[in-house]
Amino acid sequence: MALLRTKKSRWIAGALAVIAVSVGTLFGLPTGGQKQQLPINLPSMPSAPYFSPVAPDGVVPANVLGALLIPQNSKRTAWHNYDQGNGQFDREITISVRDGFSSTKSFFNSSLRDAAWKILSSQASGMGYQILALHAGSDGHFWEIGVTISRRPKISGASSQNRATSSQTSVALRLLQYESA
């Protein structure tokens, strides 16, 4: 290449490449910074009490759990400790949300962005929707949340002939300690 024949031109090209990579990396890192004040379509509440069976006080930084909201009147239906105390934190809770699939999906998309989570991906999957987001913890680690929203029919009514079906949504929230910040 004619432009890179001299030592000075190679040095300039190298410096520009380093600057481009550095700037790209800085824009890609989650900051745990400013909230966006997006409208959240459902009343919310903190998730910390729902994580209490799998996340004792102090294990997950308060700024991470404080930035993770769930729809009000959700009911915890299950929890799982994937790491079993070995290695990095990897735990999940499942909640049942009375609101429909679309409302729940909109809630998590808005509330995560509003609380300064960096959305890494969001996509339809099977009979549901998945969101993967990252947040900088005050402990020096990044924390990742995987939100899997699934449709689940809820059947109500006493008569098997005239059962009214309404929507109910199941949400799995898998929280992982990602890496050092």
- Per-residue confidence (pLDDT) for residue 181, from 0 to 100: 56
CA 25-123-41 angle, 5° bins = 100
Question: What CA–CA distance (Å, rounded) separates 138 from 66?
Answer: 11
Residue 85: pLDDT band by 50, 70, 90 thresholds? Answer: confident
Q: Is the pLDDT of residue 3 over 80?
A: no
pTM: predicted TM-score of the whole model, two decimal places: 0.71
CA 83-146-39 angle, 5° bins = 140
Residue 108: pLDDT band by 50, 70, 90 thresholds? Answer: very high
Residue 2: pLDDT band by 50, 70, 90 thresholds? Answer: low
